[in-house]
Amino acid sequence: MSLKDFWHSLYLGKRLFFLLGGLVLLFVCGFFVPWCFALAQSLLIILLAFLLADGLLLYKKKKPLYLKRHLPKLFSLSDFNKVDIEIENLLSFPVYVSLIDELPIQFQKRDFFLKTRLQKGEKQRLSYKLRPVQRGEYVFGALHAYLSSSLGLLQRKFSLAEEEVLPVYPSIIQMKRYAFLAFDRVGDRAGIRKVRRIGHSYEFDQIKEYVKGDDYRHINWKATGRRHRLMVNHYQEERSQNIYCVLDKGRIMHMPFEGLTLLDYAINASLALLNIVLLKHDKAGLITFSDKLGDVLMADKKPSQLSAVLEALYDQHHRLVESDFELLYQATRMFVKHRSLLILFTNFESHHALDRALPLLRRINLRHLLLVVFFENTEVEALAMQAVEDVEGIYTRTHAQHLIHSKYEMVQKLQNYGIQALLVKPADLSVGVINKYLELKARGLI
């Protein structure tokens, strides 16, 4: 180790400063009590001896610790993701270790550290959790360890200077959790409802001549009259349905709730829903738009479709512009040729905003089954429930209640025009849209 590296890695411990402070007081007392001065000199010599011994112990080996940070392949948005740190004491005596990890700038944490004590040759695995609220690349810097002996006079800094880049994707943890619950009996306890299928799960295929064993209820009497022999309708199992998640990336979806934007809530819900769509053997697709058309992923159920959905959702960003619903209508005419379920994630904060989009939503609903998903404002709900102490409070609460009632009126207006609508809290979005999809599928509306 060079002299420069030695000085850069050497730090004075808190215990040393306390002892030096005590010695200073003794030296001051020595001006008035002679024996205090002699005692202070003796203790200073002893302290220097211990200081030298502490330094020799800490710098006995070039590499005092084994350090390794273990990261997952990716982080899951809005979930608590586990990070492990493996540490081993390579010195021949117990040490106290303080760990400082240079976390990505997105977390804005500057006071993060872990403490532990390691015996001779002991290995430990320390863990902590991080909750990212933005998609993108997160850069982890160096991992620093400050170790000290039982004397605690000096600290030696040892660093693992490995920069690691980790992508943050839409919530894969949430996707797996809801996929499991939707197909498991415990799903009801988590809010996932499995609804019994209503009506036939078959669709017409062709007319053929009656043979023994055919269901007489399927006899086609018109064809029988024309051909002068019994003819029956032949049915095949229902084909996979096209399910599209349509994401509005306009400025209204930039509104934040509990650290996440509405767009991020919609992205997480889309991933969870489209995974279940594929597990139900339907075809999953994606359309994004704002003032211009974004990504269009045609509905399919091939094995690689979920990966394509994940990559497309990872790279979505809001735009501080008004969304163009005319553009969305044209996109559905151009790219969605067959009748499909279109789940539109957007937000309407006023009747005026809805009325501008309503004619285009009705035109889309003529060719497809449209489900409009928009959000309850939880902050407004909190204002509507707060205690009132003055006239201003009465006005605030009354206005909040009016805004809440207005949202329910917008749902009713959409339903009056035959458009499916779902008003949901941001935190309940995934459960809400999954339940609605299962309900529409069970009712045979798709």
Closest CA to 166 of 98, 107, 110, 88: 107
Q: 342: phi > 0 → left, psi -120 to 50 → alpha, else beta; which?
A: beta
pLDDT at 190 over 70: no
Q: Say which residues have a Cβ less than 8 Å from residue 48's Cβ, sequence separation at least 6.
A: none
Q: Exposure of 278 by Cβ count < 10 A (0-12 exposed, 13-18 middle, 19+ buried)?
A: buried
Q: Are 282 and 96 in contact (CB under 8 A)?
A: no
* CA pair distance 91, 63, nearest whole angstrom: 9
Q: Exposure of 219 by Cβ count < 10 A (0-12 exposed, 13-18 middle, 19+ buried)?
A: middle
* pLDDT band, very low/low/confident/very high, at 185 (cuts 50, 70, 90): very low
Percentage of the chain modeled with pLDDT above 90: 64
pLDDT value at residue 331: 95
Closest CA to 372 of 416, 306, 404, 315: 416
pLDDT value at residue 261: 93
pLDDT value at residue 223: 87
Phi, psi of 20 (to 5 degrees): -65, -35
Number of H helices, E strands in the chain: 12, 21
The CA-CA-CA angle for residues 155, 99, 124, to 5°, reads: 110
Per-residue pLDDT tens over the stretch 314-354: 999 988 899 999 999 999 999 999 999 999 999 988 889 99
pLDDT at 197 over 80: no
With tokens 């009132």, the residue in question is: 388
pLDDT at 211 over 80: yes
pLDDT at 202 over 90: no
pLDDT at 237 over 80: no
pLDDT at 196 over 60: no
> Which residue ranges make up each domain of the chain?
3-58, 65-169, 172-197+239-442, 206-236
* CATH of the domain spanning 172-197+239-442: 3.40.50.410
Per-residue pLDDT tens over the stretch 404-433: 888 899 999 999 999 999 999 999 999 999
**How many other C-beta atoms can be found within 10 angstroms of the C-beta atom of residue 22?**
13
- Run of H or E including 13: none
Q: What is the pTM of this model?
A: 0.80
- Run of H or E including 114: strand 114-118
Phi, psi of 382 (to 5 degrees): -65, -40
Q: Which of 30-44, 111-125, 223-237, 294-308 has the lowest mean pLDDT?
A: 223-237
CATH 1.10.1040.10 fits 65-169, yes or no: no
pLDDT value at residue 180: 76
**Looking at residues 345-370, what average pLDDT do you find?**
93
The per-residue b/e assignment along 370-404, b for 16 or more CB within 10 angstroms, e otherwise, is: bbbbbbbbeebbebbeeeeeeeeeeeebeebeeeb
Q: What is residue 376's three-state secondary structure?
A: coil
